[in-house]
Amino acid sequence: MPIDLAEILAPRRCAVVVFECQQRLLGEGTPLPGLRAAAEATGLLENLAGLLRRGRKAGVPVVYVRVVPAPPGEASRMHSPLEARVGPRGGGEAPHGFDAGPICKEVAPCDGDIVVERPHGMTGFYRSDLDSVLRAFGAETLVLAGISLNIGVLGTAIEAVNRGYRVVIPQDCVAADPPEYKDPILRYSLRNLAYLSDAEAIAEHFEGALA
């Protein structure tokens, strides 16, 4: 039976989590040009910007997960083929991992938003303050957006469900590389973990709760 998203998207129970929408991943010169192209084709940043604006007005907390280099003295992040590809030899400059730069200006944080830095791993909850921040807000449902469906968004959704959160994914605020991978991963993996919607419908639920 289809679930009524209005209940789980009540602003007092939600937070929007923006995953790795950073300039050196989605901007010019990215080591992941296919992902940037897929995000542009989807209108990811524009759709997400509208969702964030309307969510903030409804009182929904916004939390950013930003990948940063590991602190000096800690082990390098280069543990996977992807990290090696985007790291120093792949165009990054930081000796302890890829510096993905600031959050993209289209979806830049506003006063009251929280930025969680993640120096290790591939997903949002791993060795970060994300869980404690969300619980401090009283969040039960995460609206998860950003890049990429291939690894980061999928892994973070799994971690969220393991921690007892519900997850809603706006399909027009995520991207995959290659783009044709997007529909299969949503259909065969993420729809079993998360409720799929779009930015407009989610924003309408936020606003409807205030009517």
HSE at residue 136, side-chain half, CA atoms within 13 A, is 9
48-98 pLDDT per residue, tens? 999 999 999 999 999 999 998 877 666 555 566 666 666 554 444 444 456
Q: Using 50, 70 and 90 to split pLDDT, how confident is the model at 201? A: very high
Residue 92: which CATH number?
Answer: 3.40.50.850
How many structural domains compose the chain?
A: 1
Structure tokens at 151: 């690894």
DSSP-assigned letters across all residues of 144-188: EEEE-TTTHHHHHHHHHHHTT-EEEEEGGGEE-SSGGGHHHHHHH
Identify whether the C-beta of residue 174 lies closer than 8 Å to the C-beta of residue 143: no
Calpha distance 140→153 (Å, rounded): 18
Calpha distance 125→163 (Å, rounded): 10
111-162 pLDDT per residue, tens? 999 999 988 888 999 989 999 999 999 999 999 999 999 999 999 999 999 9
